[in-house]
Structure 1
């Protein structure tokens, strides 16, 4: 082995050590504690086997959190990909100052999620309600974040607004890989814009569509910051996501071991959904 290759291997050691200390080791500790009744304080606890895992399937709070998270993730994933693809198609067209607009659309991605959430919390609570009252629009005259049936829509709006930015950039990268000669040939054949999209554009950017769908679904299933900034899981538990339930129950409710078991199930669910998405969407890529 050459000295240069050896140096490259040694350069990876700090990264591997840091990843193990801050990622792998805490995950293994969480799995270990999930088989105990530890409340997060003190050194005394007992091993109780799979009791925590069994109790998860009969806990109504856990069930409600999973239902909300799945509903939220599906809606957000669809909206983010549809809107970001439409924006990317528009930005990829020959419009003036398109680089300026690309920067504007990417701006939400570099902002802190918590800061954006608190800003929208103020807008929903004060600005939008005043506009609704002045314009006589009843739907906007009250804060939707305080409505048990509508609060989740406010969280969706914020998540979609910020999530569109990254997906738009990926779609733009995919659109730029398509040769212009294909569109010129389709124009000569008299193809419509709709036919161009389904026969040329979408099949050629399908790998980017796969990545965007998986990333959007994964990020939506892990929603936490928006919940904390906008509703803190309320009203009641109407907008409590799985991540928020694990945090509140584990660090504030004395359920450290119980929520550790919940986090293990949560990890398995996200991994299964991501794998199924990849297999299904990549299978569609090969059919196009």
Structure 2
């Protein structure tokens, strides 16, 4: 009899514990849902759903206005690869711009970080000054620099006679390209600087002191000790600058508008004109899907390569 009572009591205790555990799990699940749910919902509505709709429209000839949506299959993609030289011209410009902008932006950002990581009295003020351009919107920044290139440089050139300031900075294919690179690097280098400074502050100072005692030069200290230790920062900065350079739109639009003669037209501007000015929304979304795949591949390869370097270091 006592054994039966003990068995029933043990079963009841186990059942109570199970129900209590289920309640705790429900509460925990509801708590997670309360915090994650709104963000997940907005992500689905703003990112995933439009992306899936874009894939669908890329197989249609929709003009972006009418209610009639005609399915054309892969015709848009065939047209892009066989009969759209302007798109490939804009892609080549964007790729060339990305390579130059990524290299220059990271060199300037890393250089500023090395300087401002030193014991300077004005380092906090200088950090703020160098970061400020990143706060200014791309369109506004483009119009400001358009005035500088067209009016400011011309005035300086007349006063000094220096040929550098007398160049047609936004009126020639070569100078317009470098003008966009200069403005992009000026805007984004401060952001990269902040990331590099955060990484440099995590470097063990005893290693640098030991290298100095052993007679290592400044260049050797940077290349052999500092750079390998902050490779994760390079991974982040390269990823950010590559993706931002590929997606350049507002800065390019306000500086040159893709001119002269589409020589500085980025892929983003080409897609925008195709979809919203030429009213070929299906073709524009097909271009955007191709562009998305290319950017995803390039950034994935970059992250994989730099992560591998981190492990080797």
Change (3 A) 1:189 1:271: same
> Within the alignment, does 1:216 sit opposite 2:245 as a pair?
no
Aligned length: 288
Q: Indicate which of 153, 159, 163 corresponds to 1:134.
A: 159
Separation in 2, partners of 1:226, 1:215:
16
SS of 1:143's equivalent in the other structure is coil
CA distance in 2, matches of 1:10, 1:92: 41
TM-score (norm 2): 0.89
Structure 1 residue runs of 5 or longer lacking an equivalent are none
The structure 2 residue matched to 1:69, chosen from 94, 103, 113, is 94
The answer for the alignment partner of 2:50 in structure 1 is 26
Secondary structure of 2:114 counterpart: helix
Residue in 2 that maps onto 1:242 = 267
Alignment of 1:244-283 (within 5 A): 244-283=269-308
CA offset digits 1:137-195 (Å, max 9, x no partner): 23322431011332111111110000101100000000000011111211222222122
Higher mean C-alpha displacement, 109-118 vs 168-177: 109-118
Q: Does 2:21 match 1:11?
A: no
Give the whole-Å Cα distance in 1 for the aligned partners of 2:89 and 2:312.
37
Q: How do residues 10-159 of structure 1 correspond to structure 2 at under 5 angstroms?
A: 10-58=34-82, 59-159=84-184
Tell me by how many angstroms 1:23 deviates.
1.4
Whole-angstrom CA distance in 1 between matches of 2:44 and 2:292: 17
Deviation at 1:54, TM superposition (A): 1.2
Shift of 1:9: 1.7
Q: Larger deviation: 99-108 or 171-180?
A: 99-108
Maintained 8 Å contact 2:168/2:175 = no
Cα distance, 1:124 vs. partner? 0.8
Task: Name the SS of the counterpart of 1:177 in structure 2.
Answer: coil
Structure 1 residue runs of 4 or more that deviate by more than 4 Å after TM superposition:
none
Q: How many angstroms does 1:8 deviate by?
A: 2.6
* TM-score normalised to structure 1 length: 0.97
The DSSP-based 3-state class of the residue aligned with 1:284 is helix
Which residue of structure 2 aligns with residue 199 of structure 1? 224
Distance 2:162 2:123 in 1: 35
Shift of 1:237: 0.2
Residue aligning to 2:200 = 175
Q: Distance in 1 between matches of 2:170 and 2:152?
A: 13
Asked if 1:184 corresponds to 2:209, the answer is yes
Deviation at residue 214 of structure 1 after TM alignment: 1.1
CA distance in 2, matches of 1:49, 1:283: 40
Aligned residue for 1:47, secondary structure, equals: coil
